[in-house]
Amino acid sequence: MSVTTYEEQPKVERRSDRLAERLQRIWETKPGLYGWISTVDHKQIGIRYIVTAFAFLVVGGVEALIMRVQLAQPETRLVTPEVYDQLFTMHGITMIFLYGLPILSGFSNYLFPLVLGSRDMAFPRLNAFSYWVYLASGLFLYSSFLTGSAPNNGWFNYPPYSLPEFNPGPNMDFYALGMILLGISTTAGAANFVITVARTRAVGMSLNRIPILVWGTTTISVGNLLAVPAVSLAFFLLWLDRQFGTHFYDASGGGRPLLWQHLFWMFAHPWVYVIVLPAMGMVSDGLPIFCRRPLVGYTLVVLATITTMVLGFGVWVHHMFATGLPYMLLSVFSGSSLIITVPSAVAVFAWVATILAGTPVITTAFLFFAAFVVMFVVGGVSGVMTASMPADLQLHDTYFVVAHLHYVLIGINVFGVLGALYMWFPKMSGRMLDEKLGRWSFWLIFIGFNVAFLPMHWTGLLGMPRRVYTYPIEAGWGTVNLITTIGTFVLAVGFLMLFVNVFVSLQRGRIAGPNPWDGPTLEWATSSPPPPYNFAVLPVVASRHPLWENRLREGTGESSLDRGIVLDNGKEIIATTAIDAEPDLILKMPDDDPSPFLVTVFMTLGFAGLLLHWWWLAAAGGLLTPVGLIAWLWPSAELAQTAEGVHG
């Protein structure tokens, strides 16, 4: 490498076919198995996240349907209590951990560099790594079914029932180790999102021009970096208690069962916001496109997003109102749990105002987004009810809470995700989803969901506790449960129709073109699907809506999409400053690399060794993992950061 490379000054040129060809050769993933394992293309990784998360959604859904058949009538004996316990536990783990965040990470992974006007995530190999580890932890958790000993203590897994005295099988070890593994993936992904936003935005994309989806994912990524350590520690201590006889949670040895509850909910309550804020962000970006106007109250919505996450760290004790903690403490947490509604209300009124002040175009995506707003409110107000401590003493651990959390997770996550799928599928595949099938699937999902879960609030008020594998006739819960079961099957048919739509449209859907919905942000400025390098010349933006700015007359100056910085000296992107997004450095990006995959394999083998007590395997995994990391991180001259970029 010559010295001049480090002083490279990027050219500024117009987009040309020759440039595109050269960039294609530089950025495209090699064909074959090697390319499949070693690709670091954020678009491929994003789609993998989405496909994998939907696969887990289907598996978790099937688990739910089995449970709904069991509960449709009193005293049904379709499955044994042991099987039922594993089903409700794995259903929760799957939907909350293996679907809830990964689906959003998938969209964010796919969209981040595109909406930010860049070519890849800041750390492409770390990105591949976080996907592989997510997949590995999902398979690790599900391998428990092969031995008939899946986790069986509910997703929040309270000791002492999770301790070996009451739960001697490997069930809880699968959960403990699997969650530590997943925590590694979440942490790696979160760090990557934060740095990507801070350093690789398009020139000119100052903080007040970032799409809300990006704000949502960045906010929850910072949240994750603070929250995940609590749960990894909690599960690690649990594993020590189980394997080496420590007494962190064991009262008979002087431990405290409540320690678990604090550590777990300190993580798991913020997690609720983690799996909804990016979806709220997608709605905040998507809804305006179909309302044909910018979002009302952009700044307030961004502030509300951040405020929600911050307050989300101060409400965890509302899961513990019945544990006999001091009254004064409970009243504080009851109050904070009510206050957290305020920023959510800001978002809701911003969406409502956008619909009212806009000219909505009723597409399938719009239907999902509009339904999202209403479902959000249902999940929100039932959350307000459980925030009131004396009311919660009745509602806690009943089907009322089950209804509430499904309005949150399906209403605020799934509805947003499905709207986003209809909206961005054309970008990902180059083809439109069928609108007619789309409407059918929307109405089936909407009606099925509400038939299933609206009456479930009543089930809870009639006093049905959660996590019971059956119930007596005289309890009077038969009718409502039957209605819920019928609703869930309608919901399932709606999903089936969605998947049919995806498969059919992939083959025969109408060709989309770069910007089928007339969207305002940078991902719509490139072809559908985008080339491996995303943008031939790196765009410079001068407003929040680069593709709308001429028609809305906003911003200072004009965004430049066809003429911009050319970086074609190997894989390169531009680094910009954190606040104002002024050009700063040229970043050299790594080529495809199999080491993230290999490190994941080594690490997973190590975890399997810990699970099986094959200490030699654990030791081998423990030794090979750092070896793989050294190979991955071995300094390479081609990756040295170079010269300052153009200023001005």
Partner 1 sequence: MDLRRAVAAVALLDGASAADAVERASHPMYTLQGEGMRGAVMAKLIWGFSAVSISVVVIIGMLVLIGSWRSLRTGVASFEGTLPPLSRGERDAMPWIYAGLIVTTITLAVLAVWTISSMVSIGRPPKEPPLTIEITGNQWWWRVRYEPQGDQSRIFVTANEIHIPVGEPVRVRLISNDVIHSFWVPALTGKTDLIPGRINETWIEADKPGVYRGQCAEYCGQQHAHMALSVFADPPDRFQAWWDGQLRPAGGRSYLQSLR
In the stretch 310-339, what mask flags binding to partner 1 with x, by CB under 8 A?
Answer: ------------xxx--x--xx--xx--xx
If one asks whether residue 345 binds partner 1 (CB under 8 A), the answer comes out as yes
Q: Binding to partner 1 by residue 292, rule CB under 8 A?
A: yes
With contacts defined by CB under 8 A, name the span among 9-17, 172-180, 393-401, 492-500 that binds partner 1: 393-401
| Distance separating alpha carbons of residues 71 and 470, to the nearest angstrom | 6
Give the closest residue to 134 by CA, choosing from 49, 196, 51, 232: 49
User: With CB under 8 A as the contact rule, which of the stretches 109-117, 197-205, 473-481, 586-594 interacts with partner 1?
Assistant: 473-481
Tokens of 138: 């999902």
Q: How far apart are CA 87 and CA 64, in angstroms?
A: 8
Task: Supply φ then ψ for residue 553, to 5 degrees.
Answer: 50, 60
Q: Which of 475, 496, 579, 633 binds partner 1 (CB under 8 A)?
A: 475
What is the nearest approach in angstroms of partner 1 to the Cβ of residue 537?
26
Asked if residue 332 lies in contact with residue 307, where contact means CB atoms within 8 angstroms, the answer is no
- Residue pair 644/584 in contact by the 8 Å Cβ criterion: yes
Pick 433 or 538: Cβ nearer partner 1: 433
Distance between CA 12 and CA 414 in Å, rounded?
42
Q: Is 96 in the site for partner 1 (CB under 8 A)?
A: no
Nearer to partner 1, 152 or 642 (CB): 152
Q: Does residue number 352 form part of the binding site for partner 1 (CB under 8 A)?
A: yes
CA-closest candidate to residue 350, choices 215, 550, 221: 215
Binding segment for partner 1 (CB under 8 A), chosen from 21-29, 205-213, 350-358, 529-537, is 350-358
Least distance CB 375 / partner 1 (angstroms): 10
- Is residue 367 within 8 A of residue 286, CB to CB? The reply is no
- Mutual angle of helices 81-93 and 124-142, in 10-degree steps: 170
Site for partner 1 in 502-561 (CB under 8 A): 517-518, 548, 551-552
β-sheet bridge partners, residue 13:
564
Does 246 contact partner 1 by CB under 8 A?
A: no
Q: Which of 300, 306, 601, 643 binds partner 1 (CB under 8 A)?
A: 300
Comparison of 60 and 411: residue with beta carbon closer to partner 1 = 411
Determine if 342 is a binding residue for partner 1 (CB under 8 A).
Answer: yes
- Give the strand order in the sheet containing 11-14: 11-14, 560-566, 538-540
Separation between Cα atoms, residue 363 and residue 350, nearest integer Å? 20
Please check whether residue 457 is in contact with residue 403, taking contact to mean a CB–CB distance below 8 angstroms: yes
Stretch that binds partner 1, among 24-32, 101-109, 463-471, 497-505 (CB under 8 A): 463-471
Indicate whether 73 belongs to the interface with partner 1 (CB under 8 A): no
For residues 522 and 541, is the Cβ–Cβ distance under 8 A?
yes
Draw the binding track, 431-450, toward partner 1 (x: CB under 8 A; -: no contact). ----x---------------
Torsion 169-173-176-178 (CA) sign: negative
Residue 382 contacts partner 1 per CB under 8 A: yes
Helix locations, 462-512, DSSP H:
478-508
Part in contact with partner 1 (CB under 8 A); list of ranges 160-168, 483-491, 591-599, 602-610: 160-168
- Told to check if 350 binds partner 1 by CB under 8 A, we report yes
CB closer to partner 1 out of 185 and 334: 334
